[in-house]
Amino acid sequence: MGASAALKSRPSAEPDGAEAMLRVALSLFLEQGYHGASMRDIAQRAGVSVSAAYHYFPSKADMLRTIMVRVTEDLIADLEAARDGAGPDPAARLAAIVRAHVLLHTRRQDESFIGNSELRSLSLVDRRKVVALRDRVGQVFKDVVAEGCRRRVFSQPYAAETVRAILTMCTAVAGWYRANGPDRPETIAERYAELALRLVGAGRGEEGHTR
Amino acid sequence: MGASAALKSRPSAEPDGAEAMLRVALSLFLEQGYHGASMRDIAQRAGVSVSAAYHYFPSKADMLRTIMVRVTEDLIADLEAARDGAGPDPAARLAAIVRAHVLLHTRRQDESFIGNSELRSLSLVDRRKVVALRDRVGQVFKDVVAEGCRRRVFSQPYAAETVRAILTMCTAVAGWYRANGPDRPETIAERYAELALRLVGAGRGEEGHTR
DNA sequence: GCGAACTTAACGAACGTTCGCATGGGATGG
DNA sequence: CCATCCCATGCGAACGTTCGTTAAGTTCGC
């Protein structure tokens, strides 16, 4: 706070009150659901009064929308970067986006879980926006798998079901991953990449596990 | 129950008051979440007064518990029947329980979805009970996959991750299945059985698709 | 007239949100 | 240099509404 006195005109990325409130709101939405968590709970756990919370966010709904939009936009950015950084090979691309998806869903597990489970708590207009973002996530996977099928490096007859299976399998990671569990995020990401390749019928031979 | 002549106290055609209320509660929990749905909503959509609802269930929490316990117990019964009816071959057993799992998650989609998403809304004691039931579901899959690995008809190194992937992939069906979509439940079940076999590394040759 | 089904009306608590006010450091003007 | 205003920050109290639940009474087939 003291050091950044000159920067107060631009409230960009700093661990300020709003960010702290978002973190608290996130953990409460996670524990009790959006409707189950009250503004009084959030304010109390953040160590401020109820009305102080309304200085940072105009409403409770705005907190949820902020959380969901942000994590979904970051997911899209991660996926596109992973895909473009993996070269043109569809198998490498699929492995890369699965890794990126799993990594984000472990490293930012709580946001990801809320992003997947509280769609119904959004207002109609917010829901449309988040659904559109989620569609873009699915499209990245669809395109990669479709390209692999076209080039015949993937062999499976039901592309739509398979994409859905991969996507839901990767998404569910946010539901069961535990940071103090036996596996590191990178390990899980690597294994899920292999599982995804099995699902699309690629890599029947041994995949070189560069690690 | 068939001789329901004694129950025609009201001409409104309802098979059973409690069962109808459960159905309404289920659909509202689905749309708005447990905390988002009020007893007034439920009673109104069921066509009774608020207090009449309390003649059938002692509390709102009791409705949720009833829904979740019932569908999970039925799932366990379906899984065990499918497993035992499939003979001793681990691949046939895995395919059978995946089919059964997917079928129940499409045919009783709403209950299944609530059973997977509203655990956090249960009281502590109810949650423990449902978690125990869900553990039994997972155990059925674990046992079948472990047996397949022991007999070397499944080839994959990460049994725990793979079981979790299969389970979450099958569970997520309740989230996206649409009854008026292009695929019938049986079709989806068959494809998911094949996907599961791919995940465990079984059936490298062509599976006979008896259909 | 008994009990199950169902009603109206209300209880106290908790909800999201708003109001009026206090504080205190940084910019502004004389 | 000091008085001034600004405004982000923060508070306690209250707004009107809705919450889950209950009490007391009514209807009606048996």
User: Domain limits of chain A?
Assistant: 64-199
Using 50, 70 and 90 to split pLDDT, how confident is the model at A156? confident
Q: Do the Cβ atoms of A114 and A30 come closer than 8 Å? A: yes
Mutate to test the interface with B, among A164, A204, A206, A211 (most CBs of B within 10 A): A164
* pLDDT (average), residues B191-197: 95
Measured between its terminal Cα atoms, the distance across chain B in Å is 38
**Residue nearest C26 (alpha carbon to C1'):** A5
Residues 6+ positions from A93 with CB-CB distance below 8 Å: A83, A86, A87, A144, A147, A148
* pLDDT (average), residues B43-48: 92
What is the predicted pLDDT for the residue at B10? 38
Per CATH, the number for B64-199 is 1.10.357.10
Using 50, 70 and 90 to split pLDDT, how confident is the model at A15? low
Long-range pairs of B23-29 with CB within 8 A, sequence gap ≥ 24: B25/B60, B25/B63, B25/B64, B25/B67, B26/B67, B26/B110, B26/B111, B26/B114, B27/B110, B29/B64, B29/B67, B29/B114, B29/B118
What is the predicted pLDDT for the residue at B152? 93
Separation in Å: D22 C1' and A51 CA: 33
Helix (H) or strand (E) holding A108: none
Residue B166 pLDDT more than 70?
yes
Residues 6+ positions from A180 with CB-CB distance below 8 Å: none
Q: Do the Cβ atoms of A68 and A115 come closer than 8 Å? A: yes
> Which chain A residue lies closest to B206 (C-alpha atoms)?
A156
